[in-house]
Amino acid sequence: MKFNTLKNVATVVATLGTLAAAPAFAGKTLDGIKARGQVICGVHTGLAGFSAADSNGKWSGIDVDICRAVAAAVLGDGEKVKFVPLVAQARFTALQSGEVDVLSRNTTFTLTRDASLGLSQTAVTYYDGQGFMVPVKSKIKSAKQLKGQTVCVQSGTTTEKNLTDYSKANGLNVKPVVFEKLDAVEGAYFSGRCIAYTTDASGLASVRNKSAKNPADHLILPELISKEPLGPLVRRGDDEWEAIVKWTIFGLLEAEEYGVTSANVDQQKATSKDPVVGRLLGTTEDTGKLLGLDKDWLARAVKTTGNYGEIFERNVGPKSSLQLPRGLNNLWNKGGIQYAPPIR
């Protein structure tokens, strides 16, 4: 009897091991994407560096590139993406209802959103924090000098809640001037209706660069009053699709760490002896089958958008129009906190 019990346990363990190594089953989201031949991506209506369309309707930005990388991994073509611009108040409903497959729209990960919206947070694509922008002529140098002042803020965001918390915690009694649409917030600030404008620091840099008549006339104050880890969300319940989005982001980070770029990815595939690079590019191991994809999924993504560092530099980095420092978004071994679990 004891022998039979041990034998049964061994059989179960062996079976579980086989299941663990089995290819993933495609979820309904991936099935729908393949059927239509297009990933539908919810993005910001216009935030330079993250998601914005030019006069020809061409979208660019970090959030946009993440969607293109996913499309390249899944469909073999980073152009097979439909971008749906969404205001803050409509973004979660659009994902919940199935209007979009993924929400890649500078959205902060929070407990409430993770636990109550029926959505899953994937991976952080930008570590940010909420800040304030004021006219230089105001002579304000610190957020603590905003006592009793008017502050423009967008409704339906964590930004609005953070402003209230910060004001109460520091006895500032700031007077929020709230608008639903971002354009209205910007317009009110630049017209002088508010002494300060608050949103994520990266967003402030984007707005200053895009909308100010003279960007030098506006100062982003040094304090950050919150943690704002930004990244894509997907609908809860489709684990396969969540894994694809999450591991595409991780793959772009891992590619940067191991020196795989859009320019050298083909050469690396042909010549690299590094076992990690071999796994990333599908030359020694097929990680794609675990995601319901082929072995070249990540190689295509990197070739399409570049690795994470290339995406950052092109859209918001020191050489871009926003000129944002890499900061926390540098890799873990270069002074930042961006860190991808191993792809193996």
E-strand ranges in 223-312 read: 228-230, 233-235
Burial class of 196 by CB neighbour count within 10 A (0 to 12, 13 to 18, 19+)? buried
Q: Are 223 and 100 in contact (CB under 8 A)?
A: no
**End-to-end CA, the chain:** 39
CA distances to 71, 149, 332 from 298, rounded to whole Å, are 11, 49, 21
Which pLDDT band, with edges at 50, 70 and 90, does 156 fall under? confident
| Least confident span in 14-28, 160-174, 193-207, 219-233 | 14-28
User: Domain extents for the chain?
Assistant: 28-127+230-334, 130-226
Task: Summarize the confidence of residues 290-309 as an average pLDDT.
Answer: 97
Please list the residues that pair with 85 across neighbouring strands: 43
- Same CATH fold assignment for domains 28-127+230-334 and 130-226: yes
The DSSP result for 81-117, as a single string, is: EEEEEE-GGGHHHHHHTTS-SEE-SS-B--HHHHHHS
| Residues contacting residue 125 through CB under 8 Å, at least 6 positions apart | 62, 63, 66, 104, 230, 231, 232, 249, 308
Task: Summarize the confidence of residues 50-70 as an average pLDDT.
Answer: 97
Give the CATH number of domain 28-127+230-334; options: 3.40.190.10, 1.20.1730.10, 3.30.1360.30, 3.30.70.920. Answer: 3.40.190.10
Q: Are 96 and 118 in contact (CB under 8 A)?
A: yes
Could you tell me the sign of the dihedral formed by the alpha carbons of 90, 93, 97, 101, in that order? positive
Which pLDDT band, with edges at 50, 70 and 90, does 26 fall under? low
Q: Are 42 and 91 in contact (CB under 8 A)?
A: yes
In this predicted structure, the answer to whether residue 231 has a pLDDT above a threshold of 60 is: yes
In this predicted structure, the answer to whether residue 74 has a pLDDT above a threshold of 90 is: yes
Task: Summarize the confidence of residues 46-67 as an average pLDDT.
Answer: 96
Between 2 and 311, the more confident residue is 311
Say what the pLDDT of residue 101 is: 98
Q: What is the mean pLDDT of the chain?
A: 92
Give the model confidence (pLDDT) of 84-96 as tens digits. 999 989 999 999 9
Q: 130-226, which class in CATH?
A: alpha beta
C-beta atoms surrounding 114 within 10 Å: 13
In this predicted structure, the answer to whether residue 236 has a pLDDT above a threshold of 50 is: yes
Could you tell me the sign of the dihedral formed by the alpha carbons of 260, 261, 263, 265, in that order? positive
Say what the pLDDT of residue 11 is: 44
Say what the pLDDT of residue 109 is: 96
Closest by CA to 21, choosing from 246, 241, 285, is: 285
Say what the pLDDT of residue 37 is: 98
